[in-house]
Amino acid sequence: MSPDTQKIAAAARRALSDNRQSGTSGWDGKRYDFVCPSGTTYPFQWLWDSAFHAIALSHVDPALAKQELRCLLQGAQPDGFIPHMLLWEKNAHEAALREYSITLLHPYFTSITQPPVLARAIERVYEASGDVGFLRDVLPPTLRFFRWLKAQRDPDDDALIATIQPDESGLDASPKYDAAMGVPWDPPEATLPALTRSMDRLFAEYEPLRGDPARILSLDRFVWEDVMVNTIYADGLRRLGPLCRAAGYPEAEAREFEDRATRVRSALETKCWDEKAGVFWDLSGWREEPARTLTFSSLFPLVLADLDPRKAARLIDEHLLNEREFWLPYPIPSTAASEPTFDPGWRTKTTWRGPTWVAINWYLYWGLREHGRADIATELARRTFEMVERAGMREFFDPRTGAGEGASSFGMSTLVLDLIAAEHLPS
């Protein structure tokens, strides 16, 4: 039986409304009104989650989608930095600081950033609303952010930006970081405590340099050129060009971002592509050692329309559709089934080690379509609907059975609304 997309869309709309947080913050009396990732486990505003929420909201009410991004951009700093978490609600701070591995740069925001999905979200919200005034308001802090990434996170000037700790990619406990972080995967109960200890050591070393990314990078403690992060960055740069033109910016400014998009894509192809394996690898440390753990990141440049079609075909035919790696009953697993660290049933109680995430399927869905493989995109969407219909808006899913795992009523999973619209199914 085909999935009941009307029922799924209703559940997504309910999650977006249940997760709304609004009020006046102790932070200079700023007003906040946004969708949090999950009311129970994640009551704050996260940078990449909020961008995904805005895309989902553009199918519910473009006004709410605009508000989501305007609220987020209240956290944008004059130098361009945008924090990965805005902790609007003071009452919840104590529990957050106890439960999460985070460090603050300011009483109301963290000291790291997250992938710049923001540009893609602005494009979608602008398309849905046609509101040039909105575009003119949100572009300045967004362009500053993309320039900050270039200025502060590309110290070797190779076009690829580096992250300074695992959760900056959003992929907190991905096994690709295990070697760098000294984290074991066996027994599974040992993984999370070891990662927490390792993060504490990292924080202690960074503490004297907090807020000074250039010096943090020079420590060479955790310098990571991540394929997924750089793909999202290149994709964002590419989309900023037309947005600048629509807002009436000079042509040279639009070109600045588009040219950089090309340079980032080209650096990914030159430095991260492994011709023998037919995948991309993240680069670790100043020595840029390829991190050869097969995760969905290795396939992610598929998202880029200008990726060499021959490489795209190899990613799809040799890996994405490979039943021993990624083409499981409920694809795409965050870590390939062929990896010894593959943890589809969430035994490590930590994230990105095997389960399937709707946001990743969403990005790859559009990448498949860009590369002329709409048939596979449709099948990926269909299996995503099936999984969400049975398990609900969970944080992630067991790729073998589709069983839901992690938080309930999870924001990123509401991206099914965009997939339903893209597939022209009833919502």
List residues binding ligand GLC (CB under 6 A).
37, 42, 46, 48-49, 170, 172, 351
Choose between 112 and 291: whose C-beta lies nearer to ligand GLC.
112
With H, G, I as helix, E, B as strand and everything else as coil, classify residue 282: strand
- Least distance (Å) between residue 352 CB and ligand GLC: 6
Choose between 325 and 395: whose C-beta lies nearer to ligand GLC.
395
- Least distance (Å) between residue 398 CB and ligand GLC: 17
Read off φ and ψ for residue 173, nearest 5 degrees: -110, 20
Whether the CB-CB separation of 83 and 111 falls below 8 Å is answered with yes
- Least distance (Å) between residue 395 CB and ligand GLC: 7
Choose between 5 and 350: whose C-beta lies nearer to ligand GLC.
350
Whether the CB-CB separation of 69 and 54 falls below 8 Å is answered with yes
- Least distance (Å) between residue 88 CB and ligand GLC: 14
Choose between 39 and 290: whose C-beta lies nearer to ligand GLC.
39
Whether the CB-CB separation of 391 and 375 falls below 8 Å is answered with no
Which residue type is seen at 348? T
Read off φ and ψ for residue 245, nearest 5 degrees: -65, -45
Choose between 257 and 342: whose C-beta lies nearer to ligand GLC.
342
Please name which of 70, 83, 87, 106 lies closest in space to residue 25, comparing C-alpha atoms: 87
Strand order in the sheet with 224-225: 224-225, 282-284, 289-291
How many residues are there in the chain? 427
- Least distance (Å) between residue 42 CB and ligand GLC: 5
Choose between 172 and 256: whose C-beta lies nearer to ligand GLC.
172
Please name which of 368, 388, 385, 370 lies closest in space to residue 425, comparing C-alpha atoms: 385
- Least distance (Å) between residue 144 CB and ligand GLC: 22
- Least distance (Å) between residue 418 CB and ligand GLC: 18
Choose between 50 and 142: whose C-beta lies nearer to ligand GLC.
50
Pair of tokens at residue 270: 């030159």
Cis peptide before 332 (omega within 30 of 0): yes
